[in-house]
Structure 1
Amino acid sequence: MSEWFRQVTGPRRAAARLVCFPHAGGTAAAFRGWGAHVPPDVEVLAVRYPGRQDRIAEPCVDTMEPLVAAVTAALPTDLPLVLFGHSMGASVAHEVTRALPVPPVLLAVSGRRPPHLLRIRDVQGDSAIIADVKRLGEANAEVLDHPELRDLILPAIRADYHLVRTYEPGSLPPVAVPIVAHTAEDDPEAPVSDMRGWAELTTAEFDLTVWSGGHFYLAAHEAELVSMLCARLGELVSAE
């Protein structure tokens, strides 16, 4: 397996692959529990961004184009793919969908406005970034209160915030891939009205699911969310 992916599920004879893109400041560990909710024929991979966890010695990637190019080049396309991205990861997954020579059967975007409705917030400086991470309710935000841990993880968070701040795609042509969008009732970063705008980014089917909770609703709804993605994947694969 490429350094760009962590295999969440154990060895299996897979018929399809679910690829998960973490949020800004996030890691592949955000999806460590997803393997428990997929059927035996679905492999789960989590994208490993450089500059964190077991890639901490590598330089971070702080702009969209090289990150997308690297993930696209490393992503195996021998099986039907579902790409799922949360927050910043949704934008990365969308760009990878556009770049892949063999498109995924489904793009799932979560907690992130579509590119033509993005609102770039100029969050710079460690204090502002830390405050923003805590505002969004990131589950592990308390580690930022410990100086030793903060110094270890802040470079990756800074890089991701720079990527988000400098990514200005504007209007993009639609993809011929079904899109399912997910957001939460109380997510200030992805209001329901804006999430409906993802329908303009596909010439295929579009669905929107609204969950209870805030920006990181995923933790409370993990099993149901993964089961929903796998059910949709099964429908698409069987229809081919």
Structure 2
Amino acid sequence: MPSARAWFPYRKPTDACELFAFAHAGAGSTVFSGLREALSGSCVALVPAVLPGRERRLRDAPHRDLPSLLAEFESMAIADEFSAFTGDYALLGHCSGAIVAFEIARLLEAAPCRGPRLLVVCSCLPPPLIRDTGTSRLPAGELFARTAELGGTPDALLADPEFLEMLERPLRADWELFDGYAHRPGPKLKTPILAVRGVDDPDLPAADLERWRDQTSGGFSTLELAAGHWALADAGAAVLAREIPAVLGEPRG
């Protein structure tokens, strides 16, 4: 069974609030490099998750549905006695990673550990509005073209045949997970939510972003960045790096 170290291999001892971050479909930890750098020196330390089928876990089969991914996460956390989630921490997800982060927040609120201090959801419709996009069933070329349209993956990599061959398995699995997602109504989170969108994102209108409010009984705020769907480009990362510590406020005891 994968360990907490496998899920969070770049985690280091810190007194800061840890921000466990989940990337969009097919992406790995490097997509958060800009945000992690922008947060350096603040009260927040970004810790990217590495999911099965990518980076150090390339040989692991990627999950094609969210329940199996959550089951692996829960088994890992139980075996680790939830030690990664006993201090100050928050969760962040971008696009499909926001749904993963949301469902993990639900799981952790019901677990014998501290709940997250904040859930940051970027460039993602609220759970009840998620629909099957059909992207997971596209031929490889169209799948890569759709991924390129959303941003967040360097053009040079998308032009590299060897990279694309390696990318297709986790990318298609992630889209299957997202396309197959079915929201399960349940108690609202107690965790506050910061919902983020790029002002030029055609897939996420401001009115839909506001509906994340319905998922929490805690605080709720929104942030619009000068960006498209890929909201964590350099300028967006700098703004978000100021906003997250501000929303968190003083570390709790």
TM-score w.r.t. length of structure 1: 0.90
Q: What's the CA shift for 1:151?
A: 0.6
Unaligned runs of 5+ in 2: none
Q: What's the CA shift for 1:169?
A: 1.2
Which AA in structure 2 matches 1:199? R
Pairwise CA RMSD of aligned residues? 2.0
Which AA in structure 1 matches 2:36? G
- Residue 35 of structure 2 corresponds to which residue in structure 1? 34
Which AA in structure 2 matches 1:191? P
Spell out the pairing of 1:153-232 with structure 2 (5 A cutoff).
153-169=167-183, 171-219=185-233, 220-232=235-247
Relative to structure 1, is the Cα distance of residues 79 and 66 closer, same or farther in structure 2, using a 3 angstrom cutoff?
A: same
Equivalent of residue 113 in structure 1, options 102, 125, 128: 125
Q: Please tell me whether the aligned partners of residues 85 and 108 of structure 1 are also in contact (alpha carbons under 8 angstroms).
A: yes
Structure 1: distance between partners of 2:247 and 2:40: 12
Equivalent of residue 9 in structure 2, options 6, 19, 31: 6
Task: Answer yes or no: is 1:65 the counterpart of 2:34.
Answer: no
Structure 2: distance between partners of 1:55 and 1:141: 24
- Residue 98 of structure 1 corresponds to which residue in structure 2? 106
- Residue 16 of structure 1 corresponds to which residue in structure 2? 17
Unaligned runs of 5+ in 1: none
Relative to structure 1, is the Cα distance of residues 13 and 156 closer, same or farther in structure 2, using a 3 angstrom cutoff?
A: closer
Equivalent of residue 88 in structure 1, options 69, 93, 96: 96
Structure 2: distance between partners of 1:78 and 1:24: 28
After TM superposition, the runs of 4+ consecutive aligned structure 1 residues lying more than 6 A away are none
Structure 2: distance between partners of 1:49 and 1:40: 26
Structure 2: distance between partners of 1:42 and 1:213: 23
Q: What's the CA shift for 1:127?
A: 2.5
Spell out the pairing of 1:103-142 with structure 2 (5 A cutoff).
103-123=115-135, 124=137, 125-142=139-156
Describe the superposition over 1:52-105 as per-residue Cα deviations: whole angstroms up to 9, x where unpaired. Answer: 122111111111012123234336112111101000110000000000113201
TM-score w.r.t. length of structure 2: 0.86
Identity %: 30
Relative to structure 1, is the Cα distance of residues 15 and 146 closer, same or farther in structure 2, using a 3 angstrom cutoff?
A: closer
Describe the superposition over 1:210-230 as per-residue Cα deviations: whole angstroms up to 9, x where unpaired. Answer: 111101121131122122112
Q: Please tell me whether the aligned partners of residues 121 and 195 of structure 2 are also in contact (alpha carbons under 8 angstroms).
A: yes
Q: What's the CA shift for 1:231?
A: 2.3
